[in-house]
Amino acid sequence: MRKIEFFSLKNEIQLLKNEIGQEIMKVLESGKFIMDTNVREFENLICQYFGVKHSVSVNSGTDALVISLRASGIKPGDEVITTPFTFFATVEAIGIIGATPVFVDIDEETFNINPDLIESKITEKTKAILPVHLFGLPCNMQKIMDIAKKYGLIVIEDNAQSFGAEVKINGEFKKAGSIGDAGAFSFFPTKNLGAYGDGGIIITNNSKIFDVASMLKNHGSKVKYYNEILGYNSRLDEIQAAILKTKLKYVDKFNASRIEIANRYSQLLQDFPNHIKVPKFDSGIYKHVFHQYSIRVLDGLRDEFREFLKNNGIDTFVYYPYPIHQLPLYKHLDLKLPVTEKISKEIVSLPMYHLMDLENVDYIVEKIKDWVCTLSKYGSYNR
Ligand SMILES: Cc1ncc(COP(=O)(O)O)c(C=O)c1O
């Protein structure tokens, strides 16, 4: 029986090991490991890639969020509107700086924050919107930016999962992360652009956010040993910057590979809409880069579906089984966010990583078709 991992870097490492190995050796030989040429070069390359003025590399995506929020002037007691369907770090960052997350339900098809529900949650304490571009698909930034403008709110994009994705705004495609006041990215190894360790970056066109973020990442100092505010030790190291600088050259190719895999899944799985819903989005507005390929399994059969695939050697994963508003920290709010609650019970992600063999996709699809056949008792599909 085949064994298909949910995620693997084997093909990537095979492709890049010589090039990256040489870059790592150069760092070792230089003896300079913190805030040196690789970090500067990588930050410049990121500015070029996103067409923004500034970038501040940091130690993780979580720090990118915390530092962006603080650098944008969000203070304890301020309210920040966000999604309950994300990795915990999004909400954690808001809470850690003493601000209050305000949850808005998601859209059933995109799994992203539903922009039509945002306005009703705005109060005089609301200072920012923190949209998350989930699974590689950007949020509807046109609507979000219009609301932010109307109410004078800051927008910080959590772009941990959508490096290279694009969304149309004012008639033009723009890269996710470069649209709001700041964009926060994670380079966790599984991301579309991943380090071989932890890392993150903030991008912005706002020079005040840039200045404050640059201080916050380095103990609140611009000048060595002249510390002006309380900050963090949150620096991307030279080895990770050298790795990321090299991988950045390939990221569009990696995203194209993910898109090809996703298209194949979608094309082959679209015939069973009574059981499985494949990702749906308007390609005239969004360029999806498929950090995850997440489907919905209907009728409460998700866990049975996963078990079937597991017994056929295929790993799957659930992002995210617990809506954040139902976690211990927020349960007392007793919020009802029905779309998030429903999706968290139906969603499952299939194996997806760049350079994955297409043969594996075909095998997975075959097994899913076998599973659908077992459902003939539901009066549906027969091959
Ligand atoms: C949506 C989202 N936000 C924030 C983060 C935090 O990034 P990191 O793990 O680099 O701290 C992640 C990473 O998994 C994420 O997926």
Is the beta carbon of 159 within 6 A of some atom in ligand 1?
no
Which atom, in ligand 1's list, is nearest to the CA of 188? 10
Contact 55, 201 (CB under 8 A): yes
Secondary-structure breakdown of the chain: helix, strand, coil percentages, each rounded to the nearest 5:
40, 20, 40
**d(CA 61, ligand 1 centre) in Å:** 5
**d(CA 259, ligand 1 centre) in Å:** 21
Is the beta carbon of 157 within 6 A of some atom in ligand 1?
no
Q: Which long-range contacts (CB under 8 A, 24 or more apart) does 36-40 make?
A: 36/238, 37/238, 38/238, 38/239, 38/241, 38/242, 38/245, 39/235, 39/236, 39/237, 39/238, 39/241
Is the beta carbon of 160 within 6 A of some atom in ligand 1?
yes
Is the beta carbon of 62 within 6 A of some atom in ligand 1?
yes
Q: How far apart are CA 340 and CA 337, in angstroms?
A: 6
| Residue 1 pLDDT | 85
| Residue 375 pLDDT | 87
Other Cβ atoms less than 10 A from the Cβ of 228: the count is: 12
Is the beta carbon of 199 within 6 A of some atom in ligand 1?
no
Q: Ligand 1 pocket: which of 7, 58, 62 to mutate (most atoms <8 Å of CB)?
A: 62
Is the beta carbon of 188 within 6 A of some atom in ligand 1?
yes
Query: Which ranges in the chain are annotated with CATH 3.40.640.10?
Result: 10-104+115-248
Which atom, in ligand 1's list, is nearest to the CA of 62? 11
Query: Which ranges in the chain are annotated with CATH 3.90.1150.10?
Result: 251-378
Give the pLDDT means over successive 10-residue stretches in the chain (383 positions): 95 98 98 96 98 98 98 98 98 98 98 98 98 98 98 98 98 98 98 98 98 98 96 98 98 98 96 94 98 97 98 98 98 98 98 97 97 73 50
Mention the CATH class of domain 10-104+115-248: alpha beta
Q: Ligand 1 pocket: which of 186, 292, 317 to mutate (most atoms <8 Å of CB)?
A: 186
**d(CA 344, ligand 1 centre) in Å:** 18
Is the beta carbon of 200 within 6 A of some atom in ligand 1?
yes
Q: How far apart are CA 229 and CA 76, in angstroms?
A: 16
Which atom, in ligand 1's list, is nearest to the CA of 199? 10
Is the beta carbon of 61 within 6 A of some atom in ligand 1?
yes
The separation between CA 264 and the C-alpha centre of its own chain, rounded to angstroms, equals: 22
Is the beta carbon of 89 within 6 A of some atom in ligand 1?
yes
- What CATH architecture applies to the domain 251-378? Alpha-Beta Complex (3.90)
